[in-house]
């Protein structure tokens, strides 16, 4: 059975982002290297996403909701979310992952709406450098 991909707004994600069962997956490519990001997000570049799905599944062990985004969540975010959903269905793995979601308007929408961003260079991000987007500009 194919998994359904749903969408979430920045306002809906903000309270969920603190939930230990939720993982935010940033699939931006090179821009993630030098741009801020959503605090605590995992980075899996879209250009190598499929081959890194096993690593992602290891990193999100125990999570039940994965929220994908790219810059605008028009192409890379939704396509990687679909790739993961198809992989989970085909391989019959990841039963604990109940929701595969895409952040509407992506990182750019998150940031321009004043949501907190992080500028750390830690891998993985621990969110220690998070601040309101308006303060970091």
User: Which residues have a catalytic role annotated?
Assistant: 70
Angle at 60 between CA 21 and CA 107, to 5 degrees: 80
Query: Is the separation of the CB atoms in 38 and 24 below 8 Å?
Result: yes
Angle at 33 between CA 101 and CA 41, to 5 degrees: 30
Query: Is the separation of the CB atoms in 7 and 104 below 8 Å?
Result: yes
Q: How many whole angstroms from its chain centre is CA 77?
A: 8
Query: Is the separation of the CB atoms in 18 and 106 below 8 Å?
Result: no
Instruction: Tell me the three state secondary structure of residue 72.
Output: coil
């Amino acid at each position: 059975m194919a998994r359904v991909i749903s969408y979430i707004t920045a306002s809906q994600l903000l309270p969920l982002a603190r939930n230990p069962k939720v993982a935010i997956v940033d699939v931006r490519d090179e821009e993630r290297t030098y741009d801020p990001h959503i605090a605590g997000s995992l980075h899996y570049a879209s250009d190598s996403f499929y081959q890194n799905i096993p690593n992602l599944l290891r990193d999100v062990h125990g999570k039940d909701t994965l929220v994908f985004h790219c810059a605008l969540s028009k192409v890379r975010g939704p396509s990687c979310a679909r790739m993961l959903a198809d992989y989970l269905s085909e391989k019959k793995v990841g039963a604990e992952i109940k929701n595969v979601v895409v952040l509407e308007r992506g990182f750019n929408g998150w940031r321009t709406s004043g949501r907190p961003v992080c500028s750390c260079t830690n891998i993985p991000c621990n969110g220690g450098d998070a601040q309101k987007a308006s303060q970091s500009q």
